[in-house]
Structure formats: structure tokens, C-alpha cells
Structure 1
Amino acid sequence: MTPGTSRLPPLNGLRAFEAAARHLNFRLAAEELSVTQAAVAQQVRGLEAYLGIQLFERLPRRLALTEQGRAYAPEVRRAFELLADATSALRPAPERLTISVTPTFASKWLIPRLPEFVEAHPFVDLRILASEKVSDFRRDDVDIAVRQGNPPFGPELESDLLFVQELIAVCSPILLPQGAASLRPADLDGQVLLQDAHDLWPRFLKEAHGVGVPAGARKLRFNQTSLAIDAAMAGQGIALVSRFLAEPELKSSRLVQALPGILRGQADFHVVAPRHPRRRGSTDMVRRWLLEQRQELPA
């Protein structure tokens, strides 16, 4: 034991005393420290024995600090604050990084995966910029983006394919006839077709099934695909969506593929970043993480 540490009282006793002095209650101190009330009382008694003084008066319904305890408590608290400040100074400051995505991509794909990201990368302060508007990397202080389109996106940008756009028709299982695995195109007559701003139902039915939109089909339009997916889960109609966005709901059977066939979209999803990013390390790390999250979808 070094000369410096030989003068220190038991640290567990100090922690117990400091918490009990703030609460004037062993039970509340125990809850804060995640130990038993008996353990706190024992640690305080051990500290008092080490110091050879009484720090608390044990009254019938409460604790009270003795004169020595009142003098000792703020000094112990200040010592713990100094330790906390010194420890914080050793840790690297969080590196801030902004990722631009659409609201649908954020809610249906990115947000469910964020807890895993935060756990794996605690020193990255991630800012999500969710907008249908294509963000400008410089003007909007964006470091990395997920964009739907076709490369090249610009001479100063580089991109990686994240998802191929494959559109499928989905609906709640309650819309299927009893015993049927899916609908037929003729069954769309009288159904509600949920669509986003792209309105790809005519192209899907023509290319996948060689038919047009039934005259009796009704339409309900949303400005975001996520709303169409939510409406489909609620049994309000049939949505045409990118398959990877609906994959969790398909796996959990909250949605089913309403019609066979896939429409290959004309614009895929890419991870895009400047060729010379301002924050090279964190940008590359988030880029790798996004690409690692890709899962093989069933054919």
C-alpha cells in the first residue's frame, strides 16, 4: 500500500456515507447504490469505526448528521465530484455526425436498429435528419446520406448500393379470402389501393400481371410510404412498397404479400458520402455499419 492510499478510509463506506448524508435515509441510499439497506448501514458503521467518530444520529424515524458528519459530508461529495470530472476528462468527447434519410427509411429501417448502433459506438453522437428533401452536404452540415436514385450522384460524392428497390403488394392477412395464400388481380375490384407519391400501381399490375387497374378499385394516397405501410397493417387496403421496408412486418405476419410478383424499381437505395469527408473516421464507421446491416431478403 502506498503512503497516499494508506490514509484513505474504505471507499465503499465513503460512497454509502455520501449517499446517506444526501438522503438522510439508509433505504434511499441503498436504492441509489443498488445494494441492500443493511449493506449501507454496515458500510457506514465501518467508516465510523475507522474514523473513530459518529457521523449520524440514528433517530426513531430518520437519520440526522452529527456536527462532524455535517462538516465531513460536503468534503466527501467534492472529492467524488473531482474523481468524476477527472474520469470524464479522460474519455474522448462524442464525435457528432449527421445522417440524412427519408422519414420512411428512418422510421421503418433505421430507428429499429439504432439501439444496436448506440451500444456498439457509444462515442458517436448521431444526428438523424429525416426529410423528403434531398439535403445538401455542405449547406445542411450532412456527413452521410441514404438516397434513392442512380449513381453517380456528383463528382465530389461516392456511393455504395444499400438496397435494390423491389416493390411488392402487401396487406393485412384479414383482407385475404379464407384459405387463400394471396389475392388475384381481379380481386382488387372494390379494394382500396394504398399509394404513396410515386403511384406505381398501374406499372406494377401491367408488368407483373399484364392487367390494368380495375375500374372499381379505390385509391387512398399518402405522402410517405411509412403511412401506407401502417394503413396496410391496419387492414385499410393494399400497399405497394419496397420489400426491405416491409420485411419485419412480413416476417411477423402482420403483413402478407397480397399479390404475387415483384416490380423492379428504377431507383435503388445508396449510401452516399463526400469523397473527402470532414469526419473521416466516424463517416467511414457509420458507412460500414449501414452496409453491414443489409440482410439477404427471401427471393
Structure 2
Amino acid sequence: MGRKLPPFAAVRAFEGTARHMSVKAAADELCLTPSAVSHQIKALEQFLDTKLFERSGNRIKLTLTGEAYAGKLTHLLDAFLEETAAVKEAPRTLRVLSTPGFAARWLVPRLPRLEFASDIRLRVSNGAPSLDFATNDADVVIQWSDKPTPGLTVEPLMASARYPVISPELRARENVQRPEDLLRLTLFYDETDDAWPQWFAGAGLSGADLPPGPTFPNCEISTTMVEQRQGVSLAYDAMVRGTIASGRLQRLFDVTTNPISIYAIACPEARAEEARIAAFRHWLRAEAEAEGVVPERLFHAAE
């Protein structure tokens, strides 16, 4: 059954008249004629089947029913006004916090394809992005781990294998032709999940003495160093496809590590289905699916 509500124009006319105790003042407020306001009040009385005003000539007085009803309506209309103003004034931006590598190598190049890209406020974290949504000033966090976290919705976003990347200039200068050639170059290592030993084992060089090289806290630093012709990094395929396509980097050899889950979407569980957050999560997953980098367990779950 639908709601049988009184005409809103009639409610406004009555409430304004009761608040001012003047038909003329209510008419001025509502940009109506006094006759129109009186007509609306009579329509409301007919709808309610009760008198709201006692009339004596040009004077009006609220009935007991009218007085009680007017007080409640004023309260409801004030609350309605406040809620409407809150919606109109609410920021339309979606605040996204991520790692530097995800922002620079993956998200930013794809943002023009997002319908509300101009409303994204992107921040990057020097370390692992904070998942404390009470303090991190974010609506959505793109984090490295997909570990379940109480109170949060955490869903794996992408998985990726790894392979060595090098700048075209360094490759030509050092005449890199075989996996063994990497052992005489500077290699960049990752603080988290470094996989050079596994890659060399896959290339048939298990137990090789790896050359010294700096260790970086995230893959974006090492990839940037490679672009500057400083050495070789073990890059995640999902993160460097665009850079390789641009010619700034080259992939070395056909050997890859086993794919691992590398990024996940996190947001407060209570807000996961808010329109903007849900739309952004859906868009991220669609972009990852289009590139074939969705984690296998998530892909099978969706089938």
C-alpha cells in the first residue's frame, strides 16, 4: 500500500500560517496570494477531516488539534530542510588512498575511463596505506595485502607474475642476451616478497650468487630506477605493461615467477554498498578483469 500523505503544498501553507499566525505572512513567504493559502488550508482540513483553525472575521486561532499538528510539522519540516541541505552540500569527491606504484603505473592511466574521474581525490602513501578509516581521510584504500580485516570489506583486486625489466639503453650498452648476463649487473631488491632467487631458479640458475644491489621499500622506486638506466628490477607484469608498451622499459626473457595476489580493495564494511564506493569497486574489478589479472580464486568465485 502506498503512503496516503496530505498534499505537500497544503502542509506548507498550514505550517507557515500557524508559525506566523498570519495568512498574509505565510503567503508572502510562499510567494502565493492569501486566497491561495486559505484554499490550501481548507484542502488540508478536508483531507484530515478536522478543523485546524478557528476563524472569526479576519482573525484566526489554532484549534487544539491544529496546535499539536503544527508543532510536529514544524519540527519535521526543519529536519527535512537540514537533511536536504546536507545532501546538497555533501562533498561529491571519492577519497582514494593507495601505494605510489599502483597510483602511477595502474590507476592514473586508466582514470579517464571512469565516469566520475574528476571527483576522485587521490593520495599516495609512502609506506603501507593505513587501514584506520577513522584517521586516514579515505573512503577507499588500495592496499598490498588481501588479508581479512575486522570491520572492513577487503577483496582481492589483481594477481601478477614477475619478470626482469631493463631500460633499452642499458640493455644495449651491456649487451644483455642471456639470464646469466644479469649476474654482472646491478639488481634492485624488494623489502617485501623479493623473488630474485625464485626467478633465477626458474631460469636454470638455482643457487647462483646474486650481485649486490639496493633494497627498496616498494616496487615503484625500483621501477623508476630502472627507467633511469641504473639497473634491473623484477617487476610485476600487471604494473609495467603500459611502461613496456611506451618503450621506456623492456621485458627480459620468457621466464616468470608464479603469480601472486598483489593488490586488494579495502573500505569500511558498513559503507561498501554506498553508491560511489560500490561504483568505484566495480570499475576497478572490471578493469582488472579486462586485463586478465584478477586473482584466480576471485575469478572462480564469480563463475
Give the TM interval when normalised to the shorter protein. Answer: 0.5 to 0.7
Which residue type is aligned with residue 242 of structure 1? Y
Letter in 2 for 1:163: M
Structure 1's 175 and 214: CA in aligned 2 closer, same or farther, altered over 3 A?
farther
Q: Secondary structure of 1:276's match?
A: helix
Q: Counterpart of 1:154?
A: 149
Superposition pairs of residues 270-281 of structure 1, within 5 angstroms: 270-277=264-271, 280-281=274-275
Deviates more, 1:200-209 or 1:166-175: 200-209
CA RMSD for the aligned pairs? 3.0
Among 119, 122, 139, the alignment partner of 1:143 is 139
Match of 1:192 in 2: 186
Q: How does 1:55-74 map to 2 (within 5 A)?
A: none
1: CA distance between counterparts of 2:89 and 2:116? 12
Structure 2: tracts of 5 or more residues without a match: 1-86, 294-303
1:254 to 248, 259, 262: 248
Between Structure 1 and Structure 2, how many residues are aligned?
203
TM-aligned CA distance change 1:93 to 1:157, over 3 Å: closer
Aligned-residue offset at 1:91 = 7.7
**Residues 169 and 241, structure 1, Cα contact 8 Å, conserved in 2:** yes
* Counterpart selection for 2:207 from 212, 229, 239: 212
Matched residue type, 2:230:
Q
Distance apart, 1:121 and its partner CA: 1.2
Equivalent in 81, 106, 125 of residue 103 of structure 2: 106
Aligned to 1:41: none
CA contact under 8 A between 1:171 and 1:239: conserved in structure 2?
Answer: yes
Report the residue type matching 1:174 in the other structure.
E
Alignment partner of 1:234 is 2:228: yes
Between structures 1 and 2, the one with greater helix share: 2
Specify every segment of 5 or more residues in structure 1 that has no aligned partner in the other structure, as ranges: 1-89
Kindly indicate whether residue 172 of structure 2 is the aligned counterpart of residue 174 of structure 1. Answer: no
Following the alignment from structure 1 to structure 2, what is the Cα–Cα distance between the partners of residues 279 and 96?
16
Query: How does the TM-score come out when normalised to structure 1?
Result: 0.58
Distance change in 2, residues 1:124/1:201 (3 Å)? same
CA offsets per residue over residues 231-278 of structure 1, 9 Å max, x none? 212222111111111111111232111232111255431122222118
Q: Do the aligned partners of residues 144 and 265 (structure 1) sit closer, same or farther apart at CA in structure 2, a change above 3 Å counting?
A: same
Please give the secondary structure, in 1, of the residue aligned with 2:181: helix
Q: 1:248 to 1:237 in 2, by over 3 A?
A: same
Compute the displacement of 1:102 (Å): 0.9
Cα distance in structure 1, aligned partners of 2:259 and 2:169: 28
| C-alpha contact 2:153 2:272 (8 A) present in aligned 1 | no
C-alpha contact (below 8 Å) 2:225/2:231 kept by paired residues: yes
CA 155–106 in structure 1, closer or farther in 2 if over 3 Å, else same: same
Question: C-alpha separation between the residues in 2 aligned to 1:206 and 1:274?
Answer: 41
Q: Match for residue 301 of structure 2?
A: none
- Check 1:92–1:112 CA distance in 2 against 1; reply closer, same or farther (3 A cut): farther
Distance change (3 Å), C-alpha of 1:282 and 1:210: same
Q: Report how far residue 207 of structure 1 moved.
A: 4.0
Q: Distance in 2 between matches of 1:127 and 1:200?
A: 30
Give 1:283 deviation, angstroms: 0.8
Distance 2:189 2:291 in 1: 26
CA offsets per residue over residues 199-220 of structure 1, 9 Å max, x none? 32123212443423445x3413
Percent identity of paired positions between Structure 1 and Structure 2: 24
